[in-house]
Amino acid sequence: MPRSQPARSARYRFAWVMIGLIGLALVVFIHLRGGPHHLLTFHANADKLEHVFAFGAMMTWFGQLYRRGMERSLICICLVLSGIVLEYVQHALGD
């Protein structure tokens, strides 16, 4: 009887999760570091739009890795809460 091999999509799952976590850490770092780093400068609160784009990309990334409804919902809730916390931290740091 031949051994079953893991599905191709599951073979590199750990690597894809780690790439996503590194991306999330990079998003947080970029938004918290000091200095002028905003790409969108057309409005005083354009950084909020940058956060929506960044966390939307993270939701899309992790949404492709976790396909069950409950997992996706939990990831969505965690990323939305992370974005809210990021706003408060930015405000506390004076940015």
pLDDT, tens only, 37-94: 556 566 667 777 788 888 899 999 998 888 888 999 999 999 999 989 988 888 888 7
φ, ψ at 34 (rounded to 5°):
-80, 170
Quote the pTM value: 0.73
Indicate the DSSP class of residue 95: -
Q: How many CB atoms lie within 10 A of CB 39?
A: 10
Q: How many CB atoms lie within 10 A of CB 30?
A: 13
Indicate the DSSP class of residue 45: T
pLDDT, tens only, 1-32: 455 555 556 778 899 999 999 999 998 888 88
Give the separation between CA 79 and CA 39, rounded to whole angstroms: 21
